[in-house]
Each structure stands twice: as structure tokens, then as C-alpha cells.
Amino acid sequence: MFSKRTRIKDLLQSDNVNFQATVMGWVRTFRNNQFIALNDGSTNNNLQIVIALGSLEEQLLKRITTGACIKASGEIIASLGKGQKIELNASEVEILGDSDAEKFPLQPKKHSLEFLREIAHLRFRTNTFGAVFRIRHSLAFAIHSFFNKKGFVYLHTPIITASDAEGAGEMFKVTTFPLDGTAPTNDDGSINFKEDFFGRSTNLTVSGQLEGELAAMAFSDIYTFGPTFRAENSNTTRHLAEFWMIEPEMAFYDLEDNMNLAEEFIKYIIRYAMDNNKEDLDFLTQRLEEEEKQKPQNERSEMSLLQKLEFVVNNNFERITYTEAIEILKESSHNKKKKFQYIIDKWGIDLQSEHERYLVEKHFKKPVILTNYPKEIKAFYMRQNDDGKTVAAMDILAPGIGEIVGGSQREERLDKLTQRMEEMHIPTDELDWYLDTRRFGACPHAGFGLGFERIVQFVTGMGNIRDVIPFPRYPKSASF
């Protein structure tokens, strides 16, 4: 019976010996026809299976290869060998799935992350990705735990939508029309979507925020956690075409309330991973230290991965305005010596990742919350400040990756919101349902968005966002 399987992690964490157990997993190595290193994914650590010489048929021994899946039963005993407290003295070994050792891509050696990305369907079996995806699981669980404890309602917002929440226009179209040029057209040659499945032009969602706001006007506190899509032709280590977003929306919140919640939230989920994935974080910390040794001294991080995480959860985030940030950047030696790719020369420009990282890593040396951005570089739904130039927006910047949270107090005043939409050429008739929340019982409210992969990248220390999602989607890549 498969239900009688004991997880390897549970065996290794226990001090019990001299009892019968059955384990199942994948062979990492098999040496001297006697010692199997077995892993079942519950931990990066392997359980040593010991086979008495002559106890198994030669044909069966030949099938115990790297990558093969086996079931082993026997007695758990104290190990005399180095590196493990216990081992399983096998009385029975069964092959559940063979693996051709010569063709199996994951040989017992170090593989590059680029190579592993090409075999993403198998990279889960490596120590690095085992650690990354167990931490990803913990962070996802912690997100639900945090909001549930605070009484938030978990809302599923649509994946197919007719609205562009960000006004970005970089969306994937959803259609049942053929792509051979025979789709019905209007008199002006444009496609007539009235004939399409939904009777109108639709896309994959870029954000669940607008729908989230609707629910916040009834439940007060809601959050979404689901996939979002951006058809942005960006080949960087920080961007994906398909990623997951956490978007809470809260009635009766202003910008300060919003910042307080976001900071508490980030600290909670990081602390949860630190408490529940110590072994995985220790492994990734060591991995990162080895990676750092390959860099020139001046490019190495001042803190280890674990020190960086401790620093974030144990320090208050620095809070400054966009205007203060521009002044700091403009006067920095980095800017004056033209070390920035994008020179800071005037107020109103959009900050780049290099500027955000300078503020966090060089100037303040801690996470930073930037507030009150110029309205010209922010979305239509953000509350306009009394100065007429800025909006009540906030971004949280973290060391290593820059922005991980973007949010704002939302514009609850109908006249101000419609005026801003007209200025930005956003059709009010198409978002009439959204404007109803301002017509019928409007209230001050706020919210933010956290790109899930960004926080996973931050906690795991992985350099490329494609390595923290199981099957990454980016330009020219939709494998598996």
C-alpha cells in the first residue's frame, strides 16, 4: 500500500531507530552496488538505503540507476557512515519506474541554471529548485494565512476581461476567430468583435484591481491572488509574460494605512518562510555565497541571503517622497559621475531599477517606501493630491530587485476620477460599472499589488525571475 510510505524528511528529523519503514523516491546516486542516495522531494537531504551484498538479483541491481523511481522497505538503523544519522537497511527493493542513465539529463554533477531552464520539467529534482519551490509554496500559504487572520475575503477576479486596468495596452487578445484573415470586419476594416464568442474585444487580465475595488465596497477588506498576463516584449531577469499577483483592496484606508499593511504583510510572509524553510534557506544562502565568490569584490553583496532577510523583517522601512528621492539621486556621486545609465536631471521622470536599487542598497541600506509620485507617470485611478501635481501612490523597493510592491490610495471622488480618465483618454462609458462605486456610497479606499515571483525571487536570492516559477513564459518561450 502506497499510503504506508514515510516521507524522508520525517525520518531524518526523527531520532527514532530500530523500526520498520517503507520509503519511495528517486535515485540520486547508486554506488558500489550497495548504497542508494534516495530523495522524495520532501527535503534536499537524501536517505541512504543500504543493500546487503548478494541480497538482490543482478538484473534488479542494474535497474537501480540515477533518476529511477524505487520503493524500499526495511529497518531504520543508526548510521555508522559520515553525513547521515540514520539509514535504511533494505530487506526489499522494488523498481516503480526505470530510468535510462545514459539519456537522463540530470547527471550527478553541477548544471547551469540556463541548461536547467531548458529542461524545466525535470529541474524540480535538483537541490536548488527543490528549495526554491518549497519556499514558493510556503510563501503562498503565508499569504492566505496573513489575510485570513485579518478577516479579508479571498476574491477570484476574472482572467478574461474587457478592461485594461493599467491603461498599458500590452495585453494578450482572447478570441475564437480564425487567424487566417477571414475574421468578420467592420466597414473601416477593423475586426468586428460582435461576432466573436464574448461579443466584444477581450483580453487576458493584467490586474484584478478594478474588480477587487468593487468587492471592497461591500466586504471592506478583500484580496486576490491569481495569474496575470503582460504582452510586454521584455527579455530581462525581472519580467515574465505570465506571473501571479496578490492584490488586496481595503475600504476606509488612506495611503498611510496602505503602507502600514504592506510593510506588515511583507515582513509576515518572509518570517513565515524563515521559520518553516530553514533548511532550504540555509542551502540557498550557501549557494549564493559560492556564486558571489565568482564576482569582483566591489560587486559582492554586503550581506548573506539570510542576513538580508533578517534585516528586512527586523527594521522599519524607510519612507520618503518621490521629490526627496529625486533630490537624493540628483545629488549623488553616482549621478554626478554619470554612473547611472539614465541620468537624473529633472523632477517628473520615471525611476528606473538602477535608481531604486541605489536608494535601497547604497543610500539607505534598507527597504524604502516611495510616496507621492508625479501624476503624469501613474495610473488614472490613483488619488490626486492637493498640490495638483502628485498622486497618493506608494512603491516598496527591496534590495537586489527594486520595486516589489506598487499601490495607492484610490480616487474616490467621481468628478476627479472622470476628469483624470478624460485627460488620459480612457473611455468612461466602457468603465461605467467601475464608476458606479463612486456614485453609490463612495468611501476612501486603498490597495496595492505584489508580484508574487518578485517576492519569491527576493526570498530565495535567485538572480533570474524565470527560475522562481515552474514553467516560465517570456518572449519566444512557451515550452511545456
Mean pLDDT of the chain: 93
Q: Provide the 8-state DSSP code for 467.
A: G
Which residue spans within 167-259 are E strands per DSSP?
Answer: 173-174, 202-204, 221-229, 242-251
Q: Which percentage of the chain shows pLDDT scores above 70?
A: 98
Neighbours of 191 (CB within 10 A): 15
pLDDT digits (tens, 9 = 90+) for 164-181: 666 556 899 999 999 998
Sequential DSSP letters for 326-344: HHHHHHSHHHHTT-SSS--
Q: Domains in the chain and their CATH numbers?
A: 2-108 (2.40.50.140), 125-171+206-467 (3.30.930.10)
Q: Provide the 8-state DSSP code for 266.
A: H
Taking 90 as the threshold, does the pLDDT of residue 8 lie above it? yes
pLDDT digits (tens, 9 = 90+) for 382-403: 999 999 999 999 999 988 888 9
Confidence at residue 164, expressed as pLDDT on a 0 to 100 scale: 66
Confidence at residue 1, expressed as pLDDT on a 0 to 100 scale: 58
Q: How many residues does the chain have?
A: 480
Confidence at residue 270, expressed as pLDDT on a 0 to 100 scale: 98
Confidence at residue 2, expressed as pLDDT on a 0 to 100 scale: 65
Q: Provide the 8-state DSSP code for 382.
A: B
> Among 408, 401, 316, which residue's Cα sits nearest to residue 364?
316
How far is Cα 40 from Cα 6, in angstroms, rounded to an integer?
10
- Burial (CB count <10 Å: 0-12, 13-18, 19+), residue 385: middle
The helix (H) or strand (E) run that includes residue 27 is: strand 19-31
> Among 105, 33, 21, which residue's Cα sits nearest to residue 62?
33
pLDDT digits (tens, 9 = 90+) for 21-33: 999 999 999 999 9
First to last CA, the chain: 32
Taking 90 as the threshold, does the pLDDT of residue 277 lie above it? yes
Cβ proximity of 111 and 192 under 8 Å? no
Which residue spans within 125-275 are E strands per DSSP?
Answer: 153-154, 160-161, 173-174, 202-204, 221-229, 242-251
Identity at 463, one-letter amino acid code: G
Residue with cell 499577483: 245
The helix (H) or strand (E) run that includes residue 134 is: helix 127-149
How far is Cα 245 from Cα 379, in angstroms, rounded to an integer?
17
> Among 426, 460, 433, 55, which residue's Cα sits nearest to residue 274?
460
Alpha-carbon distance values, 124 to 41, 100, 161, 466, 467 (Å): 8, 18, 33, 13, 11
Q: Which three cell numbers stand for residue 97?
A: 519506474
User: What are the contacts of 113-119 at 24+ separation with CB within 8 A?
Assistant: 113/463, 113/464, 113/467, 116/467, 117/466, 117/467, 117/472
The helix (H) or strand (E) run that includes residue 258 is: helix 255-276
Q: Which three cell numbers stand for residue 253?
A: 484606508
Residue 4: pLDDT band with limits 50, 70, 90: confident
Q: Which three cell numbers stand for residue 450?
A: 505584489
- How wide is the angle at C-alpha 330 spanned by C-alphas 328 and 334, nearest 5°? 90
pLDDT digits (tens, 9 = 90+) for 354-368: 999 999 989 998 899
How far is Cα 246 from Cα 467, in angstroms, rounded to an integer?
19
3-state helix, strand, coil in the chain (%, to 5): 35, 25, 40
Over residues 347-376, the mean pLDDT reads 94
Alpha-carbon distance values, 357 to 84, 301, 314, 406 (Å): 42, 12, 20, 15
